């Protein structure tokens, strides 16, 4: 169920029955010449709402702006500083605990948010306020994603392109797929090895490596592949929610000092 569609009385009935919430989290940032800046938060919301529909668990409104300063050189990219994001997400989670939620799944679709959502989860866990975990769609089905594309990439590549082709085909600039590939880093794994020096990552921003900000071969993506990946990852998210809901509260609490 989607929180914003319901009245406070209807939501009260939910909180009497359940204590789990899905919080979709994405970004608003450049995704090359072929995908919209909404890419990440559209994907996060689609997964969270689909899982909520299948399970009956609560889905909150989407957090659309995340930690994206590494894309700042490209027009329109929005971001908040990492400490602000962590504080905001912590406060948002505590809002949910006030209503009785003690299990939260951050349904995340932006790599730049991962470490910060993990930190938010640790804050809440250490304080014994909630058990909050970060879930990233492609990390739930790594083998399937790897097999689906010959030249994958972590940002604006074929996996995200296929996902938007499936979810919002009208937002994909199909005529720009070859430009995205040729103007970026089509062979990500080979190229990233060249910019790591003596074990150190020597770059901070996407533009330092990719002139158009994307990685991978976008021409390898199709809506059909996107649908297959979406279904597989949704199954993983549903299973995660059911696993988390079934856990005993004592198992989720922080351990005592030895």
pLDDT single digits (tens) 51-71: 999 999 999 999 999 999 999
Reply yes or no on whether the pLDDT at 232 is more than 90.
yes
How much is the pLDDT for 194?
78
How much is the pLDDT for 128?
97
Determine the Cα–Cα distance for residues 120 and 122; give it in Å rounded to an integer: 5
Q: Which CATH architecture has domain 3-250?
A: 3-Layer(aba) Sandwich (3.40)
Query: So where are the chain's domains?
Result: 3-250
pLDDT single digits (tens) 2-28: 999 999 999 999 999 999 999 999 999
User: Quick one: which of 169, 103, 121, 114 has its CA closest to 137?
Assistant: 114
Label the pairing between strands 131-136 and 103-108.
parallel
Whole-model pTM over 0.85: yes
74 vs 3, 34, 181, CA distance in Å?
A: 34, 14, 17
């Amino acid at each position: 169920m989607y929180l914003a569609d319901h009245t406070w009385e209807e939501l009260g009935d939910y909180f009497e029955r359940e204590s789990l919430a899905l919080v979709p989290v994405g970004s608003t940032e450049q995704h090359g010449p072929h995908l919209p800046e909404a890419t990440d938060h559209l994907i996060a919301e689609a997964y969270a709402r689909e899982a909520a529909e299948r399970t009956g668990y609560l889905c909150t409104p989407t957090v659309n702006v995340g930690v994206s300063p590494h894309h700042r050189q490209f027009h329109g990219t929005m971001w908040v500083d990492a400490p602000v994001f962590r504080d905001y997400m912590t406060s948002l989670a505590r809002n949910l605990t006030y209503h009785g939620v003690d299990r939260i799944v951050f349904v995340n679709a932006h790599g730049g948010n991962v470490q910060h959502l993990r930190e938010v989860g640790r804050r809440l866990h250490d304080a014994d306020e909630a058990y909050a975990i970060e879930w990233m769609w492609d990390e739930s089905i790594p083998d399937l994603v790897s097999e689906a594309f010959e030249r994958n990439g972590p940002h604006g590549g074929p996996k995200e392109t296929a996902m938007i082709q499936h979810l919002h085909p009208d937002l994909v600039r199909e005529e720009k797929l070859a430009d995205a590939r040729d103007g970026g880093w089509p062979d990500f794994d080979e190229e990233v090895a060249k910019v790591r020096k003596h074990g150190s990552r020597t770059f901070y921003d996407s533009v330092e490596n990719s002139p158009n900000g994307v990685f991978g071969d976008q021409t390898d993506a199709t809506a059909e592949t996107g649908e297959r990946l979406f279904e597989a990852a949704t199954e993983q998210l549903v299973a995660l929610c059911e696993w988390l809901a079934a856990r005993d509260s004592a198992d989720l609490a922080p351990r005592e000092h030895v």
